[in-house]
Amino acid sequence: MPGETPAQPTLLYSLYCGASALIAPFAWRKVAAKLRAYGLPETRVRERLGHASLPRPGGQLIWFHAASVGESLSVLTLIRRLGEQLPAAEFLITSGTPTSAELIEKRMPPRCRHQFPPLDSAAAVDRFLAHWRPDLGVFVESELWPQMLVRARRTGCPLVLLNARLSERSADGWKKRPETARFILDQFDLLVTQNQRTADNLAAMGAALERIRPGSNLKAVSAPLPADEKTLADLRAALGQRPVWVASSTHEGEEETVLAAHRLLLQRHPDLCLLLAPRHPERGDAVEALIAAAGFTLARRSIGEAPAPDTQVYLADTLGEVGTWYALSPLVFLGGSLREIGGHNPFEPMQAGAAVISGTGHFNFAETYAELTRLGAATEVTSAEQLAEQLSLWLQEPQKLEAARTAAAQFISRQSDQLDQTVASLLALLPAQQQEAP
């Protein structure tokens, strides 16, 4: 636990450090170009070199590091709960994408700020740590940046791997390098996993058993996505009594199946409207072309169009509004799953009261979907015909839709106890004097 001396660095880790020093200038040019292209000021771009754009607040600072949008947003409810327990604490979130930064800054709890993480090179990491001096570091899911972990631990900062998730392929790769895997995992004082399989994999990779705690997916206890009431009211007025289904977070190669399912559905439900929200709004032009080529009438959100009485597809190619779409309809197909993409967070639509349909390519949530389908809270499909059949069933027999929604709500409610346990585990790693209220 805190204060223990971790295992010694391995040759592979030393080689990684040397390689990162050589690669750092090229990595910097690449990430800087992406951030500049997004329109970020140079002060924010230089955060990737460890140059902070904000002052460190006084007192205790708890640092959360996540990869991108989903992982970052999943910790906001946890930060709020910690903030209630620690009224003097301040919080830092680091994430690597500009999209995540934009959404986090809209939803951050009090006493919280966002920065981009340093590149995993000695100079950038040391510069970051010297400025922020975190009292606790929490890494979310599979963010295992070796130098960031090792150099943070050397400062005396306790580290937690939270909501840990490792694919079988990733775990197998680490198992081939057992000494280095053990060295990296030994930097953590606590490893809280999403499921028992990840816990078993971490143990097989060399993590100390007493530091592993199987848990649930942190995303299941996140606050519901925000819904804009005016937008929701305007859409309901435009659609009237028409039924609506949502296809959310679709990727290239999936919209064709969704549109084919919608064509089949229109034969039985001619007034049905599809709200299609691609995962990446910048694909709006390409998706619009697919809709037009399929012969559907459409309206497009990003240019301010509202559904007309004859609109068959409403293209919601905007960022940060998916909570409003989930509030509009409890019939949700979640993309990233008709191909082997890994799937997307099923808890967000369920928290809004929806039932979920998914493809089978959801390997990032495999255990979650296994339980959800067993409970009747989610359904898996592999074709346009199966997707249309499931949606038609729920449209024609609303009691079956209601049963699926109830099962989803009950699943979500059972996860809240895990959040309380996680808060208690994090508090236990902080020095006692830091936990006291001012």
Q: Which residues are catalytic?
A: 71
> How many angstroms separate the CA atoms of 79 and 110, rounded?
9
- 8 Å CB contact between 91 and 112: yes
> How many angstroms separate the CA atoms of 368 and 347, rounded?
10
- 8 Å CB contact between 84 and 64: no
- Please spell the DSSP secondary structure of 31-90, one letter per residue: HHHHHHHTT--HHHHGGGGT--SSPPPSS-EEEEE-SSHHHHHHTHHHHHHHHHH-TT-E
> CA dist 6 to 10, 99, 177, 266, Å?
12, 35, 17, 62
Which two tokens mark 422? 């996680």
The radius of gyration computed from the CA coordinates of the chain, to the nearest angstrom, equals 23
- 8 Å CB contact between 71 and 50: no
DSSP β-ladder status, 244-250 and 331-334: parallel
- 8 Å CB contact between 209 and 190: no
> How many angstroms separate the CA atoms of 129 and 120, rounded?
12
> How many angstroms separate the CA atoms of 248 and 58, rounded?
42
Strands (E), 198-320: 212-214, 244-250, 273-278, 298-300, 313-315
Residue 57 burial by Cβ neighbours in a 10 Å radius (0-12, 13-18, 19+):
middle
- 8 Å CB contact between 306 and 238: yes
